C-alpha cells in the first residue's frame, strides 16, 4: 500500500507537555480523522508535519520524502487549513490570494474564484471584517485551490454553521472521488468524521491510543451498560474505559462480540459512537 | 526569490505608504533644522533599517503571519534571505525617494549630491548593515517585544553604569569611553579620504556583515516554533 504520510516515533517536548513517540500512517487516497480532547497534541502533530514546530526526534515522510529535506516540494502538494487563521488582517482577500497564489505551481484561479463565490466570500472585503466562520472558509478556499494531493485541516469546521459544515463535507467527499487525494482532518465534531473518514486516529495526552479504520472502530467497539455487580470488569475483553453511574457501570470495549458472551442477561450493549469513544478514553474512570 | 519579494511588498503595502510619509517628514526636518550632511547621513543609516526591517517584522508578529509564511512551499532559509533582500531594496528605495523629494525644495543642490557620492553610499551601506545586523537577528528570534525588552535592558545598564561612575567620581567611566569610541569610529569613516582601497574596504565589510546577518538570522529562525 502507498502511504501519503508516514510518521515514526515522533517526539516533541514542551514544558508541561510531550508528544510521546507517535507513529501512524495515512494510506494514499483516504481520509483520516484525528480526534482527541483539547491539549491532546492534535495541532502540534499537524504543525510538525508542516515543519512549523520542530521535532526532537523521529521521522516524517510525506509521499515517501523527508518533510524537511524536500520541504518546498512537499508543501506545494499540501493544502493546509490552520486552527486559527493567521493572515494579514488589514488586507483584502484578493490581495492575500495574489500574494499566496504564485507559490503554488498548480494554482487554479478559476477554481479559487468559483469557491469564493460558492462560499459567498467577497474578494474586496478586508480579512479583519470577516466572521470566524468566514475566515475559516477563506482558509479552506486557499487550501482547495491548488489541486493539493494532501489536505491537512486543523479543526476546519470549528466556528462553522451546520449548513456550511454539511457543504464542506460534501465538497470533501467530491474531492475524494479522485482517489489520489488524501485528507488528515482534526476535529472535535466527531459526527463529521463518521460521514467522511476512512481511518480514525485517537490521540490523548501526547500519545496515540489507537489508529484504525472507521469501520473497525464503529463495528467492533461498543458500550456495555450493566448493574454494579459487573464491577469485576477485569474479565471483560477489550476494555478501553469505563465510568460508574448512579445505576451501575458503563464500559467501553473494543471487542463487543466477545464481551457479549460473558455478560449477564440484564446487561445492555450499544454501538459506540466516536464521541462515546473520545469521552470514555479521555474522561472515563479508567483509560486503556 | 522574486515571488517572495512580491509577496513581501503585497503583504506590507500599507507599511510602504507609512515609510514614504516618514521619509517626507524626515527630509523636511533635515531642511528645516539645517542638519549638516554628515549627521544626516548617519541619521539615515540608523532610521532606514529601523523603518524598513523592523516595522515589517513587527507587522508580521502582530498578525502571527510567520505561520502563514512558513506554511508556504518554501523553506526558512529562503524566507530569511527574502526578508533581508526586501529590507535592502526598501532601504535603497527610501534613500532615493528621500533625495528626490528633498530635491523639490532643497536650495543647495551640492548638499544633495553629496549623498550620491560613492563614499557616502558605501558608508550608508556599512552603517546600515551594522545596525541591521543587530536589529534583524534580534527581531527574527525574539520579536518586537524582545527588541523593546532589549532596549529597556540597555537603558537600565546605562543608568547603573552612570550611577556607579558618579559614585566613584570617575570621569572616564566605561559608558563614556564606549560612546566616545563609537563616535570616534564614525568620525574615522566620515573623515577618511575616499581612496579606492578605503571604498573597497567599506564594500567588503558591508558584504561580510550582511552575510553574517543572514547566516545568524537563519540559525535563529530555524530554531523557532510557530
Strand order in the sheet with A3-14: A17-27, A3-14, A57-62, A65-66
Read off the pLDDT band of A77 (50, 70, 90).
very high
| B159 CB-contact burial (10 Å; exposed 0-12 / middle 13-18 / buried 19+) | exposed
Report chain A's terminal Cα–Cα distance, integer Å. Answer: 29
Chain B: residue whose CA lies nearest to A88: B63
Residues of B with CB under 8 A from a CB of A: 3, 6-7, 10-11, 13-14, 59, 63-68, 70-75, 78, 223, 225-226
A47/B68 touch (CB, cutoff 8 Å), yes or no = no
Please write the tens of the pLDDT for every residue from A155-209: 887 777 888 788 778 877 877 777 788 999 898 788 888 888 899 999 988 999 8
pLDDT attached to residue B129:
93
Q: Mark whether A189 and A228 lie in a shared domain.
A: no
Alpha-carbon distance A255 to nearest alpha carbon in chain B (angstroms): 40
Q: Is the pLDDT of residue A234 over 80?
A: no
Mean pLDDT across the stretch A220-241? 75
User: Which of A75-79, B25-29, B89-93, B178-182 ranks highest by mean pLDDT?
Assistant: A75-79
B68/A86 touch (CB, cutoff 8 Å), yes or no = yes
Please write the tens of the pLDDT for every residue from B20-48: 888 889 888 888 888 888 888 988 888 88
Tell me which chain A residues have a C-beta less than 8 angstroms from the C-beta of B67. 52, 82, 86
Tell me which chain B residues have a C-beta less than 8 angstroms from the C-beta of A101. none
Alpha-carbon distance A201 to nearest alpha carbon in chain B (angstroms): 23
Percent of chain A with pLDDT over 90: 45
Instruction: Count Cβ–Cβ pairs < 8 Å, chain A vs chain B.
Output: 73
Mean pLDDT across the stretch A203-230? 85
Please write the tens of the pLDDT for every residue from B149-162: 877 888 888 788 77
**Best to test chain B binding among A99, A107, A138 (most B CBs inside 10 Å):** A99
Q: Is the pLDDT of residue A273 over 90?
A: no
| B166 CB-contact burial (10 Å; exposed 0-12 / middle 13-18 / buried 19+) | exposed
Alpha-carbon distance A101 to nearest alpha carbon in chain B (angstroms): 10
Read off the pLDDT band of A284 (50, 70, 90).
low
A80 near B CB under 8 A: yes
Q: Mark whether A30 and A60 lie in a shared domain.
A: yes
Give the whole-angstrom CA distance, residue B101 versus residue B112.
11
Q: Mark whether A156 and A229 lie in a shared domain.
A: no
Tell me which chain B residues have a C-beta less than 8 angstroms from the C-beta of A102. 3, 6-7
Identify the domain boundary among A200, A216, A232. A216
Read off the pLDDT band of B209 (50, 70, 90).
very high
From A75, A99, A104, residue closest to B10, measured CB to CB = A99
A75/B7 touch (CB, cutoff 8 Å), yes or no = no
Q: Mark whether A255 and A120 lie in a shared domain.
A: no
Listed by start position, the domains of chain B span 2-221
Helix runs in B53-117, H state only: 55-62, 66-71, 76-103, 109-113
A52/B226 touch (CB, cutoff 8 Å), yes or no = yes
Q: Is the pLDDT of residue A288 over 50?
A: no
Q: Is the pLDDT of residue A231 over 60?
A: no
A47 near B CB under 8 A: yes
Chain B: residue whose CA lies nearest to A14: B225
What is residue B34's DSSP assignment? T
DSSP bridge partners of A51 = none
Give the whole-angstrom CA distance, residue A19 versus residue A252.
25
SS3 for B72? Answer: coil
Q: How many domains, in total, are found in chain A?
A: 2
Whichever domain contains A114, its CATH number is 3.40.50.300
Mean pLDDT across the stretch B116-130? 92
Q: Is the pLDDT of residue A230 over 70?
A: no
Q: Is the pLDDT of residue B177 over 80?
A: no
Indicate whether this model's pTM tops 0.80.
yes
B7/A103 touch (CB, cutoff 8 Å), yes or no = yes
B63/A72 touch (CB, cutoff 8 Å), yes or no = no
Segments forming the whole domain that contains residue A120: 3-216
Q: Mark whether A209 and A260 lie in a shared domain.
A: no
Which of A1 and A69 is assigned the larger pLDDT? A69
pLDDT attached to residue B226:
85
From A52, A75, A87, residue closest to B73, measured CB to CB = A75
Q: Is the pLDDT of residue A242 over 90?
A: no
Read off the pLDDT band of B172 (50, 70, 90).
low
Mean pLDDT across the stretch A227-255? 76
Identify the domain boundary among A167, A185, A216. A216
Alpha-carbon distance A107 to nearest alpha carbon in chain B (angstroms): 12
Tell me which chain A residues have a C-beta less than 8 angstroms from the C-beta of B3. 102-103
Alpha-carbon distance B14 to nearest alpha carbon in chain A (angstroms): 9
Mean pLDDT of chain A: 86
Identify the domain boundary among A181, A197, A216. A216
Q: Mark whether A101 and A211 lie in a shared domain.
A: yes
Q: Mark whether A27 and A114 lie in a shared domain.
A: yes
Chain B: residue whose CA lies nearest to A67: B75
pLDDT attached to residue A237:
79
Please write the tens of the pLDDT for every residue from B69-85: 999 999 999 999 999 99
Mean pLDDT across the stretch B91-116? 86
From A52, A91, A102, residue closest to B71, measured CB to CB = A52
Read off the pLDDT band of B190 (50, 70, 90).
confident
Tell me which chain A residues have a C-beta less than 8 angstroms from the C-beta of B70. 50-52
pLDDT attached to residue A248:
80
From B14, B59, B63, residue closest to A86, measured CB to CB = B63
Amino acid at each position: 500500500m502507498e502511504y501519503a504520510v508516514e510518521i515514526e516515533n515522533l517526539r516533541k517536548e514542551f514544558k508541561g507537555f510531550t508528544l510521546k513517540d507517535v507513529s501512524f500512517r495515512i494510506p494514499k487516497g483516504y481520509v483520516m480523522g484525528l480526534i482527541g480532547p483539547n491539549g491532546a497534541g492534535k495541532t502540534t502533530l499537524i504543525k510538525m508535519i508542516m515543519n512549523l514546530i520542530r521535532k526532537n526526534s523521529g521521522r516524517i515522510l510525506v509521499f515517501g520524502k523527508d518533510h524537511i529535506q524536500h520541504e518546498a516540494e512537499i508543501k506545494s502538494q499540501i493544502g493546509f487549513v490552520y486552527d486559527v487563521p493567521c493572515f494579514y488582517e488589514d488586507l483584502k482577500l484578493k490581495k492575500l490570494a495574489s500574494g499566496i497564489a504564485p507559490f503554488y505551481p498548480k494554482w487554479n484561479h478559476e477554481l479559487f474564484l468559483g469557491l469564493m463565490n460558492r462560499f459567498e466570500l467577497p474578494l474586496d472585503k478586508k480579512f479583519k471584517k470577516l466572521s470566524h466562520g468566514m475566515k475559516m472558509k477563506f482558509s479552506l478556499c486557499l487550501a482547495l485551490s491548488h489541486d493539493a494531493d494532501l489536505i491537512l485541516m486543523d479543526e476546519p469546521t470549528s466556528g462553522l454553521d451546520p449548513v456550511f459544515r454539511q457543504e464542506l463535507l460534501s465538497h470533501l467527499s467530491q474531492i475524494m472521488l479522485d482517489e489520489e487525494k488524501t485528507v488528515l482532518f482534526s476535529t472535535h465534531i466527531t459526527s463529521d468524521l463518521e460521514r467522511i473518514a476512512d481511518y480514525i486516529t485517537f490521540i490523548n495526552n501526547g500519545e496515540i491510543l489507537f489508529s484504525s479504520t472507521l469501520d473497525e472502530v464503529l463495528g467492533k467497539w461498543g458500550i456495555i451498560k450493566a448493574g454494579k455487580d459487573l464491577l469485576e470488569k477485569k474479565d471483560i475483553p477489550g476494555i478501553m474505559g469505563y465510568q460508574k453511574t448512579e445505576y451501575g457501570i458503563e464500559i467501553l470495549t473494543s471487542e463487543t462480540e466477545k464481551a457479549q458472551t460473558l455478560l449477564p442477561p440484564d446487561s445492555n450493549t450499544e454501538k459506540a459512537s466516536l464521541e462515546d469513544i473520545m469521552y470514555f478514553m479521555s474522561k472515563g474512570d479508567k483509560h486503556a | 526569490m522574486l515571488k517572495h519579494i512580491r509577496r513581501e511588498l503585497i503583504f506590507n503595502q500599507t507599511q510602504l505608504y507609512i515609510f514614504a510619509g516618514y521619509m517626507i517628514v524626515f527630509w523636511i526636518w533635515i531642511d528645516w533644522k539645517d542638519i549638516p550632511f554628515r549627521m544626516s547621513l548617519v541619521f539615515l543609516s540608523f532610521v532606514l533599517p529601523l523603518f524598513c526591517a523592523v516595522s515589517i517584522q513587527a507587522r508580521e508578529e502582530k498578525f502571527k503571519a510567520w505561520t502563514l509564511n512558513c506554511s508556504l512551499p518554501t523553506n526558512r532559509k529562503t524566507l530569511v534571505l527574502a526578508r533581508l533582500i526586501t529590507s535592502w531594496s526598501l532601504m535603497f528605495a527610501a534613500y532615493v525617494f528621500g533625495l528626490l523629494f528633498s530635491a523639490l525644495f532643497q536650495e543647495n543642490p551640492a548638499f544633495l549630491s553629496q549623498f550620491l557620492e560613492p563614499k557616502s553610499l558605501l558608508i550608508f551601506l556599512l552603517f546600515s548593515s551594522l545596525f541591521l545586523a543587530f536589529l534583524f537577528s534580534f527581531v527574527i528570534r525574539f520579536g518586537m517585544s524582545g527588541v523593546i525588552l532589549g532596549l529597556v535592558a540597555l537603558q537600565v545598564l546605562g543608568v547603573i553604569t552612570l550611577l556607579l561612575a558618579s559614585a566613584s567620581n570617575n570621569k572616564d567611566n566605561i559608558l563614556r569611553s564606549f560612546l566616545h569610541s563609537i563616535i570616534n569610529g564614525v568620525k574615522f569613516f566620515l573623515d577618511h579620504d575616499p581612496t579606492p582601497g578605503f571604498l573597497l574596504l567599506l564594500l567588503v565589510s558591508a558584504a561580510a556583515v550582511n552575510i553574517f546577518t543572514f547566516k545568524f538570522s537563519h540559525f535563529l529562525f530555524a530554531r523557532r516554533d510557530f
